[in-house]
Amino acid sequence: EKKQEWKDRKELRTGELAAISQAISILHSDDARDLVKKSLASQEGFLFIEEGSSAVAQQRMASVVGTLRTAAGLGRDRRLAALATRVEGMKGHFGEVLKSIDSMLKVLQDEEAEDLKKKEHCDADRAADTREAIVTSRAMDELSDGITVDRAKVAEIVAEIKDMRAKIAGNTGELKEAKDIREQEHKEYVVAEEEDSQAVIVVNGARSVLEKFYRDNGLALAQRSAVGASGAIGRRGPFQSEAGEAPPPPPPTFEAPYGGKTDESTGIIGMLEMIAEDIQKDSTKAKAEEEESGKQYKNTKESLETENKELGESITVLEGVKGEKEGAVGDNTLDRHAKRRELGVVMTRIADSAKGCDYFAINYSLRVKNRQIEVDGLIKAKTILSGGAASFLQATRRLRGA
């Protein structure tokens, strides 16, 4: 409401000043001056009105001086006070007084235009600087947000790379452990295989010695039965005596030539064959287990090496992303420093302009108010001079008519 009231008041005052200026221009035009001179030339006493020292003229001049001094006091303008003093010394020279008043009005009008221009300039500059400061601050905030996001991403990538490297180290340790176990198992297998081979050779050698002996001596490797009706020597059970009976006669001696312990030898040879077969079976089983263990180790090795390779490739990719983010952080940090310097320049410019603009903005309304008082006083003084001249002419005419 106050802004609209001020706008309406300013427009009305501007129109008033324009109308007054136009009226003065009309009155002071060459044609108007000639008409007034011709009109006053036909009347006696014109020179007395212009330069005389009548009481009416003095009264009008005193009223003009008082009006100017009142306006000077209210508007706190020494120039109007000086004008009042100068007018007071003119002693009825209305033309010079009007000229001085018009000159002062022109000065006030120019000052009003200059003040308005300065006010609009300050307002425009301050608005532009404030807008620039806001935009720059927002740009700094956006850069800060980008830096925060990129730094968080870098920290996330660093943690992820750390986990991957720990996984690679774990896989490498597991691979080394598996290799050590595999090498130890292979060494044990080689030793066992050698021992089994030697054992088979030993067992087969013992069996071959027995078989060769019986073969060379023409002894059959067969199990003999106990002595039958023919009286052949056979196996007897243990002697058991019965009470009241005489012991049996002693066993007969050998009648046939010595045939060797072929029955016991046959069992031993069979046992040696069984031992050799068991050793061979164990060797075959150990070989199969050795091959299976080798396959498992190979699969484990390939799996761990493949995983480590993939992890290494992922680390390379992540390190590239990390480098990009760190580069972005560096660039954004430099840009933010540049924006901070720009903001500092703007804020300095605002602070520098505040020295003049703040004072002017605070006192602008008072200056406008005082200037209006001064203008009103000047216009009133002109009105008094114009009215005074007319009244004096009328009074002179009445005296002459009497």
Average pLDDT over residues 177-205: 92
The mean predicted confidence, pLDDT, of the chain is 74
Query: pLDDT tens, 294-308?
Result: 999 999 999 999 999
Average pLDDT over residues 31-57: 48
**Do residues 168 and 305 touch, judged by C-beta distance below 8 A?**
no
pLDDT in the model for residue 368: 74
Q: How far apart are CA 141 and CA 378, in angstroms?
A: 57
Sorting pLDDT into bands at 50, 70 and 90, what band is 216?
confident
Dihedral of the alpha carbons of 13, 18, 19, 22, in degrees to the nearest 10:
160
pLDDT in the model for residue 254: 47
Q: How far apart are CA 171 and CA 305, in angstroms?
A: 8
| 152's tokens | 């968080």
Instruction: Give the side-chain half-sphere CA count within 13 A for 116.
Output: 13
Q: How far apart are CA 163 and CA 330, in angstroms?
A: 26
Average pLDDT over residues 206-234: 60
Out of 3-12, 109-118, 213-222, 238-247, least confident range: 238-247
Q: Give, for 394, the enclosing helix (H) or strand (E).
A: helix 262-401
Query: pLDDT tens, 274-299?
Result: 998 999 999 999 999 999 999 999 99
Q: Which residue has the tokens 């009003």?
A: 112
Reply yes or no on whether the pLDDT at 162 is more than 80.
yes
Helices (H), 217-261: none
Q: How far apart are CA 281 and CA 314, in angstroms?
A: 49
**Long-range contacts (CB closer than 8 Å, 24 or more residues apart) made by 390-396:** 391/56, 392/49, 392/54, 392/56, 392/57, 392/60, 393/40, 393/43, 393/49, 395/56, 396/43, 396/45, 396/48, 396/49
Average pLDDT over residues 318-324: 95
Instruction: Give the side-chain half-sphere CA count within 13 A for 104.
Output: 29
Sorting pLDDT into bands at 50, 70 and 90, what band is 380?
confident
